[in-house]
Structure 1
């Protein structure tokens, strides 16, 4: 199913503008993430698509060309997976998956056939007769997906589906969720505040800020070519290089950097993985802290800018706190973007 949104906005009673007028197009079978911090409007937009919230007059919400903006949630034929999964704990896996089909009053043989189909698709055969309360977090996620998919919805909507899980399980299930959504071959939108989750699962990511889409694109495009400083900071944790730019030179407290091109009037940013310890580097810094993370060290550096910079160092050892080091940043690794207002 294709989804087209035009002029979709929401102001809550009291005047809070949760969503500014928003346009968005999602293709057949595409998986799109709405990514952003709390309060940016991503969950409001998802709920408007579902029919759980009403958009302001003038909005268009088109499923395969049909405007469903005036249709209630039960007539939009959407599947939803919530953070809590909202499963019936004492029901078996089969009964949970078949519950929505039973409410649709489908014939028993059709319910059984669809339940069998999604149980196989979600690899739940060994757990079909078990109570949901006895399952692990990952197994419950698969049950929630199977239940949402069984009625053959036009679109699948997921609201922070992994946020209730612990970090190690979340990483494992992130990849599993990506695989299952592609097996379903269904158009899907999921909300998250976790950039790793969005980039691992989605075909495209819509980064939202202050009630609007700041940028939408593939994970690679957003990471390599952020359009705003907010996107650069949120996708990849880019750090500001606050200094004075003169043509293709960036003058900082710790020295001067060569830029790839003239950048007068722009802001400069860098990511931690692009800062290298180099005895011949143009910048001088003092090491504040060193954290060993297994595959690399995370090193906090002062003296380059007013705020600390962080470098990821992959050597077998690292200098210690208090040491003075030289660092290098390749010209092409410096991200230059238009200056933005502080509220952006």
Structure 2
């Protein structure tokens, strides 16, 4: 199902503008993430799509060409997965999945057929008759997905579906969620503040800021071609390199970098993975802290630019705090982006 949003805005009674006029089109079977910091409007947009919030006048929510802007939640035929999963602890897995189908007053044979279908799809056969309280966090997530998909909704909405899990389980279930959503073949929109989660699961990511979509694109496009410094910081942890820009050179406290193009009036950013330890490098820095992360070390470096920047180092050993070293950054790895006006 295609979903078309036009001029979607939301102003609360106290005058707070939670969402500025927003347009968005989502294709059949596409998975789109609404990504952004707390308070950026992503959950408000999701709730408007669901029918849980009423948008400002002039908005249009279209499901496959049908205007559902004023329709109730019940008539929109959506599936929802919440952060808490909201499962019924007094019911079995099978009972939870079939609950929504009973509310639709379907026949017993059809209910059983659909429940069995999604139990198999979500690999819950061994847990079908267990109580919800006897399940792991990952199994509960699959039950929540199965329950949302069983009524065959037109669109599936997920609100921070992994945030209630611990870090190790969240990483494990991220890939499983991506696989399940693609197996469902259903148009899906999910809200998250975790850039790794958004990039791992979504076909496209809509990065939101201060009530509007700042940029939308594939994870690769957002990473390689961010439109602003905010996008570069949010997708890939880019860091600003402060200094004096003269045409295509950046003069920093630690040394001078050649830029890929003239950057006057712009800001220069770099990602941690693009900073190299190089004894002949043009930039001097001092190691402030070293963190071992298994596959690499994360180095906090001072003196190169104003403030501290971070580099990822994959050697078998790392410098020690207090060490002086030299850095190099390939010119093509530098991001030259318009300097954003501060509010």
Deviation at 1:248, TM superposition (A): 1.1
Which residue of structure 2 lines up, in the alignment, with residue 239 of structure 1? 239
Determine helix, strand or coil for the equivalent of 1:295: coil
| Equivalent in the alignment of 2:296 | 296
2:88 maps to: 88
**Structure 2 counterparts to residues 64-143 of structure 1, below 5 A:** 64-143=64-143
Distance in 2 (CA, whole Å) between partners of 1:139 and 1:294 is 28
Unpaired segments of 5 or more residues in structure 1? none
Q: Secondary structure at the match of 2:242?
A: coil
Structure 1 residues 277-335: Cα deviation after superposition (integer angstroms, max 9, x where no partner)? 00010000011111111111110110111110100000111111111100000001110
CA distance in 1, matches of 2:296, 2:74: 50
| Misfit runs of 4+, over 6 Å | none
Q: CA deviation at 1:261?
A: 1.4
TM alignment of 1:244-255, pairs within 5 A: 244-255=244-255
Once the two structures are TM-superposed, the CA of residue 342 in structure 1 deviates from its matched residue by 2.4
1:39, distance to aligned residue in structure 2 (A): 0.2
SS at match of 2:269: strand
Deviation at 1:263, TM superposition (A): 1.5
Q: What is the aligned partner in structure 1 of residue 167 from structure 2?
A: 167
- SS for the counterpart of 1:327 is strand
Name the residue aligned to 2:275.
275
Other-structure match for 1:21: 21
Distance 2:179 2:118 in 1: 14
Residues 5-84 of structure 1 aligned to structure 2 (within 5 Å): 5-84=5-84
Aligned-partner Cα distance in 2 for 1:181–1:71 = 26
State the partner residue of 1:155. Answer: 155
Residue 341 of structure 1 is matched in structure 2 by 341
Do residues 202 (structure 1) and 202 (structure 2) align?
A: yes
Note the C-alpha offset of 1:13: 1.4
Question: Aligned partners of 2:318 and 2:125: how far apart in 1?
Answer: 50
Shift in Å at residue 164 of structure 1?
0.1
Shift of residue 115, structure 1, vs aligned partner: 0.3
Query: What SS does structure 2 have at the residue aligned with 1:291?
Result: strand
RMSD: 0.6
**Structure-2 separation of matches of 1:102 and 1:27:** 30
Q: Which residue of 2 aligns with 1:322?
A: 322
Q: Paired residue for 1:331?
A: 331
The residue number in structure 1 matching 2:307 is 307
TM-score (norm 2): 0.99
- d(CA) in 2 for partners of 1:102, 1:319: 63
Unmatched segments (≥5 aa) in structure 2: none
Cα distance in 2 between the residues matched to 1:164 and 1:221? 29
**Equivalent position SS for 1:133:** helix
Deviations 1:85-142 (A, max 9, x none): 0000120000000000000100111000000100000000000000011100000000
User: Partners in 1 of 2:307 and 2:214 — Cα distance?
Assistant: 25
Aligned to 1:214: 214
Which secondary structure does the structure 2 equivalent of 1:208 belong to?
strand
Cα distance in 2 for partners of 1:4, 1:230 equals: 26
Q: How many residues align?
A: 343
CA offsets, 1:177-201, max 9 Å, x none? 0000000000000000000000000
SS in 1 for 2:115: helix
Aligned to 1:176: 176
TM-score (norm 1): 0.99
Whole-angstrom CA distance in 2 between matches of 1:71 and 1:215 = 29
Find the aligned partners of 2:321 and 2:122 in 1 and give their Cα distance: 50
